[in-house]
A and B are shown apart, each in its own frame.
Chain A
Amino acid sequence: MELFALEHRGLWRRTGVRVCAALCFVYCVLWGCVLDYQWLDFGSSDYAASVYNNHFDGYCMIRTYKAQAAACGDTMTERTLRRMVRDYNELGHPGLQSKADWVLAETYLTVLYPDLDDPDTFLPMIYYVDGAELTDFYGRRQQALERRLERERQEGLLTAADVAMLLEMDSRVETPWRYEWAQGWDYAVGSLGGMGRRTAPFLAFALAFVFSWEWHSGTAPLLHAAKYGRRKLALARIFSGLAFTAELFALVAGGRLLAQLVYLGTDGWDIPIQVTDPLAVAPWNMLQAEAFAMAFVFGGMIGYACLVMLLSAWGKSGVRSLVLALAIVYVPDLLEGYLPRWVQSALEILPLVRSANVIYRTDVYHILGRGVWAPYLLIAVPVPIALACVPLAVRQWSRRQRT
């Protein structure tokens, strides 16, 4: 325990680590969240091409969006959709780039009512669609979902058993869906889900040197000759790295949650995720989705931290460890489309490669012949990765040098 405390203190006293944590907070919370709420995402727009021309009025606009959505009722039916279309046109086409729920209405129209699309116009459907034709909302949704699953089955992405599993999951989604202004929650859950990837460079920089730096600074022989300088030191260092990861997560997730409470409040937590993506099959509400995203990001960061520390223990070069650590997250993206699908799927299992937004998708992995919905697998995978990395890293650090 004493060693752990010393290692933990030693990690935090490194200037590079403190700068990483501060930059991570600025990037993921101040820039990537608070400014989004107040300016870049939720600030009102004068139809300028860039979000940087938005007004700095997100807090007030969020209240306006909520009021507009409240006027459409508290359940999502064809009547709500008709009202959205009518309001949009009556308000003089306020634009789909705002965070009012018009963009959701447009999504419903394109996904559920593709037959009403006029190929002769470039205008969004919400401009011209006839409200009287918007009928059978849930029936249309069921057909659209079944069409999509069937298409994926024909493409070989899903088996018949997968389709049955996903439809069974979908059958637990309660209808009619509760409705409130959803763009705020959509942003909160979506951007939180991608937070893990944003923290990756900072984690990599902070942890890639935990072991390899000792070779650079010439302290490795000193540590290796000390009684607890091998296995126990390696364990203490790995756990202090994990504690740092948890603290970084708490700093960033806590900051984001605080901003969310200030800007969005708590109302809307119980609307189903289908409100923001009508073809999602998970029977979850926004709070559950956010909890999943939290666990997903936390697990991913822990798994990734273990991988980075393993790389650090493996080689004597910190720069090489850093480059490899960054490659874990970013190379699968770069190679997307160039690799066989099964290789791509395997790479996507690695921590932080995918975002928690996978809950909106119908991806299924096949493990020992059994279909597993992707989010369940992806949230579990960091655990065995961490469990495998810890003893390997300890072994790598502890073994006697050959050269």
Chain B
Amino acid sequence: MELAIDRLTKRFGGKTAVDCVSASLTAGVYGLLGANGAGKTTLMRMLCAILKPTAGEVRFNGREAAAMGEAYRDVLGYLPQDFGYYPTYTVAEFLSYIAALKGIPRDRAAGRVRELVDMLGLQELAGRKLRTFSGGMRQRVGIAQAMLNDPQVLILDEPMAGLDPKERVRLRNLLAEYAGDKIVVLSTHIVSDVEAIADQVFVMNAGRFVVHGTVLELARRVGGKVWEITVPRAQARQWQERITVASYRHEGEQAVLRVIAEERPSEGAVPCEPTLDDAYLYSFGASEAGR
């Protein structure tokens, strides 16, 4: 099984949202990282064949996905970034409706709906109308609908948005287990989620993949460049202006900064074990990453 992205480009008027990106995805979890406007959502919509690329194509097992039509959508699960729903439907009604749209026979759909409701902790909520749900509850329904047809290609745009820490862990485990023989692509702003489950990470900036590799490979890129320094609180702001600061905490009258720098930033700087967060910030600086 292979999902190939071949020189995929999307321009909206004069603005290039996705700029000639290529990749070959096989079974596993792929994390897509990037600031707002980096092109992640546009790329995902093209992967789902709901947005027409300006150039390039997406191929599934060698065939152009858009041309496959129903056959491609049959193996696809998609959670859009702003997950739309029907407020007057209950969870069970909504999932049954989406199951019908996915061509799942009614007798199988009922079992699958129950299974996903259990998996995503929605048992207590199954009979409630969606309009009464919080953002996190609705997000879980969105994830359930994406997984209804047991898709070979699961594309999740910001699946962790609105989930509490416990639900995030539950979803991470679920996706990691699910991705055994399937392709899961997820985008998120929460680097630790990608770090926890992604086999491969793509960092996007200005519509391009600026870096990609395993979490370990990306972290290794910043090996020897991550430091912890302790400075007086009054100097913390000056340090933030001079250097990429990955984190900042107070210890009494002192500020402890985790910084990324090519050279040891001060005499007292202590080298640290790099993380994906550090690699992400290193790729295009704190200001761009947090934009």
- The residues of A with any CB-CB pair to B shorter than 8 Å are 2-3, 6, 10, 13-15, 214, 217-230, 233, 400-403
Contacts and interface: CB of A to CB of B under 8 A. Distances in A.
B100 A225 contact: no
Contact of A228 (B45, B80, B84, B102): B102
Given A221-B45, A224-B48, A230-B69, 8 more contacts: A219-B85, A220-B84, A223-B101, A226-B101, A226-B102, A227-B70, A228-B102, A400-B66
Nearest to B79: A222
Given A2-B106, A229-B101, A219 B73 contact: no
A222 B145 contact: yes
Given A3-B101, A402-B52, A222 B83 contact: yes
21 contacts: A2-B106, A6-B100, A10-B97, A15-B88, A214-B84, A217-B84, A218-B82, A218-B85, A221-B48, A221-B50, A222-B80, A222-B98, A225-B50, A225-B73, A226-B101, A227-B149, A228-B100, A400-B49, A400-B50, A400-B52, A403-B12
Nearest to B98: A226
Contacts of B77: 225
Interface in B118-158: 145, 149
Contacts of A3: 100-101
Contacts of B66: 400
A233 B101 contact: yes
Interface in B32-77: 45, 48-52, 66, 69-70, 73-74, 76-77
Nearest to A13: B88
B97 A221 contact: no
A2 B107 CA distance: 12
Interface string B100-114: 111100100000000
State the 8 A-B residue pairs at the shortest beta-carbon distance, nearest first: A218-B84, A219-B84, A225-B78, A226-B101, A221-B80, A400-B52, A224-B50, A227-B103
A78 to B, nearest CB: 66
A3 B106 CA distance: 11
A397 B61 CA distance: 27
Nearest to A14: B88
Contacts of B82: 218
A10 B85 CA distance: 13
Contact of A217 (B70, B78, B86): B86
A316 to B, nearest CB: 13
A270 B103 CA distance: 54
A224 B51 CA distance: 10
Contact of B70 (A219, A223, A228, A403): A228
Given A10-B86, A219-B84, A227-B73, A401 B52 contact: yes
Contacts of A226: 73, 98, 101-102
A403 B51 CA distance: 7
Contacts of B106: 2
A208 B21 CA distance: 39
Interface string B14-26: 0000000000000
Contacts of A223: 101
Count chain B CB atoms within 10 A of each CB in A222, A228, A402 and give the residue with the most: A222
B78 A221 contact: yes
B66 to A, nearest CB: 7
A237 to B, nearest CB: 11
A251 B107 CA distance: 34
Contacts of A222: 78, 80, 83-84, 98, 145
Nearest to A229: B101
Given A225-B78, A401-B50, A219 B101 contact: no
Contacts of A219: 84-86
A402 B80 CA distance: 17
Interface string B208-241: 0000000000000000000000000000000000
A14 B89 CA distance: 10
B97 A229 contact: no
A217 to B, nearest CB: 5
A229 B85 CA distance: 14
Most central of B66, B80, B101 by chain A CB within 10 Å: B101
A63 B134 CA distance: 63
Nearest to B109: A2
A403 to B, nearest CB: 6
Interface centre among B12, B69, B70, B83 (most CB of A within 10 A): B70
B257 to A, nearest CB: 40
Given A219-B84, A225-B76, A228-B103, A400 B149 contact: no
Contact of A225 (B48, B86, B103): B48
A153 B77 CA distance: 67
Nearest to B103: A227
Contacts of B145: 222
Nearest to A5: B100
Contacts of A218: 80, 82-85
Contacts of A227: 70, 73-74, 101-103, 149
B29 to A, nearest CB: 19
A206 B48 CA distance: 31
